[in-house]
Amino acid sequence: MRVLGLESSCDETGAAIVDHEGRVLADVVHSQVSVHAPYGGVIPELASRDHLRNVGPVVREALARAKLGWEAIDGIAVTNRPGLVGALLVGVQAAKGLAWARGLPLVGVDHLVGHLLAVFLRRSDDAQAPPEFPFVALLASGGHTAIYRVDGPRADRIRELGATRDDAAGEAFDKVAKLLGLGYPGGPVIDRFAARGDAKAVAFTLPMGRGRAGSASFEMSFSGIKTQVAARVRERGVPGSEQEMADLCASFQAAVTSVLAKKLVAAAVSEGVRTVVLGGGVAANRELRERATALAAQHGIRAFIPELASCTDNAAMIAYAGLVRLRDGERDDWGLVASSATSLPRTTRKGGGAR
């Protein structure tokens, strides 16, 4: 089975072809970073218009790279939730048109499920063998940060163990980078500065670093550390030297990644699961990958981390998640809609206050 996947949930227009073994036959991503960088964040209307311009070309390029014709495609999968509704609509309507014109089955995919299954993608012959179920996964991106127990590849086999009450981890990176004048997106540039800095130079308080009152809560909060950076910049100004900037970035990144890694491993220990997985754009962060792997090993837990290309938004993970649904005989009809809400049940309530 070969499935064509489409992804347009935010600011990446993607098309990919994946087979039943998870092999990525083609993966094309058109980035909109240059479109949104002048504004310091994603502008939904601009994102939708750029998807309209590029969805056709990326599909044609994916088929060309895979050296396949339409007769070799067995189904079409498309991200239909969660995300920017206008952006999602472009992908959903394109997928419907292609499925109707080619007589192919169509399935919608939850973007978060795609990230959780990205670890099963095989981009080379020597790729790491995929994990077995169950595993505990950290999904950390610009819009979502949560820890899940994953007992199978379907949405009804995934259970949230804890999530952020406010900002997503990736959102905190972007906002801190903007405060420091480092541009957009913030994650990669902060990671580069952090590699040259002293993580102990600035002592940040970690909100919910140990859970409420030292409890075993797996909930998180990242708005506080963003506010601490803002207060420091307000009092002292933006760091004037590269070393000062590197130290501040290193201290901020260490604070965020240490909380993420500790919560992930603690959740796995609590669940009695011996495997952890990273997913989402923040999973491309060098320090998070190192911390999670090392901390998991200390507890006799094996860590599985997708290749960098599988961490950021991509259509290959959507194709694979859709393939799982198609393989189980599922189909969506022409009433498939775009939604800003995930299909995964949420247990963490947004905002502060007692629970």
Q: Are residues 294 and 170 in the same domain?
A: yes
The pLDDT tens digits of the residues spanning 282-317 come to: 999 999 999 999 999 999 999 999 999 999 999 999
* Residues 52-73: tens digit of each pLDDT: 999 999 999 999 999 999 999 9
Cβ neighbours around 259 below 10 Å, total: 21
Specify whether 219 is located in the same domain as 117.
Answer: no
Q: Is 56 part of any domain?
A: yes
- List pLDDT tens digits, range 309-345: 999 999 999 999 999 999 999 999 999 999 999 999 9
Q: What is the pLDDT of residue 353?
A: 61
Domain CATH code at residue 253: 3.30.420.40
Do residue 322 and residue 295 come from a single domain? no
CB neighbours of 166 closer than 8 A, spacing ≥ 6? 221, 222, 223, 350, 351, 352
Q: Same domain, yes or no, for 197 and 316?
A: no
What Cα–Cα distance (Å) separates residue 355 from each residue in 118, 147, 215, 351? 33, 18, 13, 10
Cα dihedral 335/339/345/346 (nearest 10): -170
pTM for the full model? 0.94
Contact between 166 and 222 under an 8 Å Cβ cutoff? The reply is yes
Q: How far apart are CA 59 and CA 67, in angstroms?
A: 12
**Cβ neighbours for 353, distance < 8 A, ≥ 6 positions apart:** none
Same domain, 74 and 222: no
Residues 88, 174, single domain; the answer is no
Same-domain check for residues 107 and 67 = yes
Pair 259, 302 in one domain: yes
Residue 59 belongs to a domain: yes
Tokens at residue 60, please?
Answer: 């044609």
Q: Is the peptide bond before 185 cis (omega within 30 degrees of 0)?
A: yes
Beta bridge partners of 109: 79
Are 222 and 91 found together in one domain? no
Measured in Å, how far apart are the chain's first and last C-alpha atoms?
Answer: 46
Q: Are residues 11 and 64 in the same domain?
A: yes
Question: In total, how many domains does the chain have?
Answer: 2
Are 145 and 69 members of one domain? no
Domain, as residue range, for 29? 2-123+310-327
Same structural domain, 101 and 151: no
